[in-house]
């Protein structure tokens, strides 16, 4: 392991590879314990999470549902509950996966907020977007989608006096692969420190459908390239990112891309600058 690998892994609190199934199960219990304690500390009883149909939100959603079920059993308080939210932009191209995820998560309550009107309304009132190239405009509006989804989730959480769950994990954090104040904004991030393979392993252990566990990850924010794979944006594979974070050998090219991207996206992982 290089010094930079060790430094980055430590900064992101990367969880070591699971030694065996017992270690995997222990990590699941630790994550549920974290979710439950966070609710207790806040004095609140409701969790909110947007479900996209990918393995990250599927895994986080099921952990949330199991956590509130345990809280109800432990406290006898039926007010503990989890709200799973669909946040499509018009019709999502992989809606079947999103519905499969919702069915697996089996949340106490389900809501749907179509963000299209809000995104289009904002887009039409920002004159600076009109002079951009089609590709650049598509990218900027993609970030608007992520931020409107954040607003919708916090609105629902505020209405129910609850907390918003985020799905960020170490393999996305190292690449800065989230929208600042969009999907990067949340009250708690129960997948933090896990690499992508570990998120898949936890999802599989929880019983998630194989089609979701092994689904090609996509942020799906660009209309010109719907379903664009994350790895195309990264320039490296999640297998290489996971290996890097676990101190394992990677190619010189992958190493350079990961370190450069980590350094360039540092501002996304820090609080706003102050004098």
Catalytic residues: 56, 172
| CB-side neighbour CA atoms (13 Å) of 40 | 13
CB burial string 137-173: b at 16+ within 10 A, e below: beeebbbbbbbbbbebbbebbeebebbbbbbbbbbbb
Partners of 111 in the beta sheet? 85
CA of 113: how far to CAs of 71, 122, 143, 266, in Å?
Answer: 27, 16, 17, 32
Alpha carbon distance 174, 33 (integer Å): 25
Cβ neighbours of 211 (radius 10 Å): 13
């Amino acid at each position: 392991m290089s010094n930079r690998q060790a430094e980055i892994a430590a900064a992101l609190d990367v969880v070591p590879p699971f030694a065996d199934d017992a270690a995997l199960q222990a990590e699941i219990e630790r994550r549920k314990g974290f979710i439950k304690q966070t609710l207790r500390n806040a004095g609140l009883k409701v969790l909110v999470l947007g479900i996209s149909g990918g393995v990250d939100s599927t895994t986080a959603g099921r952990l949330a549902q199991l956590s509130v079920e345990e809280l109800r059993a432990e406290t006898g308080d039926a007010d503990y509950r989890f709200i799973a939210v669909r946040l499509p932009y018009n019709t999502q191209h992989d809606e079947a996966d999103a519905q499969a995820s919702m069915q697996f998560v089996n949340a106490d309550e389900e809501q749907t907020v179509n963000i299209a009107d809000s995104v289009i309304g904002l887009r039409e009132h920002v004159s600076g977007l009109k002079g951009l190239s089609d590709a650049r405009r598509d990218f900027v509006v993609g970030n608007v989608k992520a931020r409107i989804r954040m607003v919708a989730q916090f609105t629902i959480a505020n209405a129910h006096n609850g907390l918003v769950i985020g799905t960020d994990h170490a393999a996305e954090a190292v690449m800065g692969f989230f929208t600042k104040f969009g999907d990067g904004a949340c009250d708690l991030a129960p997948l933090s420190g896990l690499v992508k393979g570990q998120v898949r392993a936890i999802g599989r252990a929880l019983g998630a459908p194989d089609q979701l566990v092994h689904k090609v990850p996509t942020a799906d924010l660009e209309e010109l390239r719907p379903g664009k794979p994350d790895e195309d944006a990264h320039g490296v594979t999640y297998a290489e990112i996971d290996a890097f974070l676990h101190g394992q050998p990677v190619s010189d090219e992958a190493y350079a891309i990961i370190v450069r991207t980590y350094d360039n996206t540092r501002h996304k992982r820090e609080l706003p600058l102050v004098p």
